[in-house]
Structure 1
Amino acid sequence: MKITINKKQQDYITNLIKSGEYQNKSEVVRDAVRLHRIHRETLIKNLRKEIKKGWEGPDSEKTIKAIIASKKKS
């Protein structure tokens, strides 16, 4: 697998290794992928929970147009 990262990301990875938090670039990338997976799974879980609340909650008497208009004012 080949990945491309920018200079800022390279510097960040280098600093993590220099600080002793990680031993090499592979450890940094593996941890980043692991954290991304956890973040994504948590996000999807929370979205599903909110969707379920919406489906199971009471119906709104507002029209779609009224909801959109109220959001534009915010």
Structure 2
Amino acid sequence: MNISFTKKQEEYISRQVASGEYQNNSEVIRDALRLHQIYRDKVVADLRAEIEKGIDSGPSSRSVQDIIESKGKTGKSA
């Protein structure tokens, strides 16, 4: 496997190893991937929970046009 990093990323990895927290570059990358997986799993779980909340709330009495117009007026999600 061949992976390319930007100069900034390489410098970050080197700083992490130099700090003594990691023994080598591979440890930094493995930790980053582990944290990324945790983050992605949480994002997916949160989205699924929001979808379920929407499904469980039942049909809305508002039309799509009502929702679009309310977003335009308040600038916030309705």
Give the alignment's TM-score, normalised by structure 2.
0.86
SS in 2 for 1:3: coil
Find the counterpart in structure 2 of residue 68 from structure 1: 68
CA drift at 1:26:
0.2
- Structure 1 residues 25-64: aligned runs within 5 Å: 25-64=25-64
Find the counterpart in structure 1 of residue 7 from structure 2: 7
- Residue by residue over 1:6-59, the C-alpha shift from the partner in whole angstroms, topping out at 9 and shown as x without a partner, is 011011111111111111100011001111111111111111111001001132
Aligned length: 74
Percent identity of equivalent pairs: 49
Give distance in 1, aligned partners of 2:21 and 2:72.
Answer: 45
> Partner letter of residue 54 of structure 2?
G
Give the alignment's TM-score, normalised by structure 1.
0.90
SS in 1 for 2:50: helix
CA drift at 1:65:
1.9
Give distance in 2, aligned partners of 1:40 and 1:48.
Answer: 12
Point out 4+ residue stretches in structure 1 off by more than 4 angstroms.
Answer: none
RMSD, aligned α-carbons: 1.1
